[in-house]
Amino acid sequence: MDIAKSLTEEIRNLFYLYIEHDDPLVREKLKEKILQKIPFGYHPFFFIENIENPILRFQLRKELESLNLDKILYDFQNYYFRDKDDLMKGSFLVSRFSDSFYLDFEDYKKKFFILVKDFLRIYPDFFYLSSEEKFYRITNFLFHLRNYSGNTEDYYNVENNFLALTLTSKKGNPVTLSVLVLLFYEVLKKNLESIMNQSIDFIITGINLPGHFILFFRSQNYSTLFDPFHHGNPVTYEDCCKYLLANGFEIDINFFSYAPTTVIIRRMLRNLFNSFNNVQNLKKVKTVEILIKNLNHLIQVEDK
């Protein structure tokens, strides 16, 4: 977290001006400048706490939650929405809605590279295995050796929505654990293709099943749906149909289609919306609602 030490004179001056001005339009422009200057993914807390003037710090702390929500919005609009296929950035920004002041994007990415490094140390011959063996190596590593699992005891805990926290707690909900697998696969794919100088022979994609997000492993010789919430166990199409009918859904082949990154991030945000709405955190509800509307627009553009 050395970034906090690099607080510039410019940002300090902007904070002073922001607090001193009464004109709402001027304050809004100053806030926009502050959000622009704070690096991607950082909580304004770091910069506020490094201001020497105690009165200014106290005044800014009273606006900390609002400033942070505005920073999350700013980062979504200026980083993720401009690169909407970047699941790493999108999922990290969802985690920024947590109560943690200490999330760091570079540290978040590093954890996936460490996971992949450990995986290839344990399975050095992975590239040469059959597709089915590759599937079981991945699920065994993540859900048995590294013990990631669905939080069945406290399913509705809001922290299950934050992958940055799941990486430490090892607990999550269906979509969070699915994104964990997708990002692991993304880093593993880049790593192996760089080493071997040829493409890997399988893909893993998201399946936006209503009420329970799952994944699809597919290669030329082996394919299966699987459920990261339940230890990465394979599930059949028939299993999914029974689940849909039991939960009041009609069987719709579209439920089994590939889920692009924008749909995955929207699913994560909808879960957040429900969690924050249940506890009446209206500020976060409003911010998440804005992001969902923006994503709906992006998804409609993709569908054209």
pLDDT tens for residues 18-74?
A: 999 889 999 999 999 999 999 999 999 988 988 889 999 999 999 999 999 999 999
Neighbours of 7 (CB within 10 A): 19
Better pLDDT: 287 or 51:
287
3-state secondary structure of 123: coil
Percentage of the chain with pLDDT > 70?
96
CA–CA separation, 33 and 27 (whole Å): 10
Half-sphere exposure for 84 (CA within 13 Å, toward CB): 19
| Matching residue, tokens 């429900």 | 274
Average pLDDT for residues 276-304, to the nearest whole number? 90
1 pLDDT tier (thresholds 50, 70, 90): very low
3-state secondary structure of 40: coil
Predicted TM-score (pTM) of the model is 0.94
CA–CA separation, 228 and 241 (whole Å): 18
12 pLDDT tier (thresholds 50, 70, 90): confident
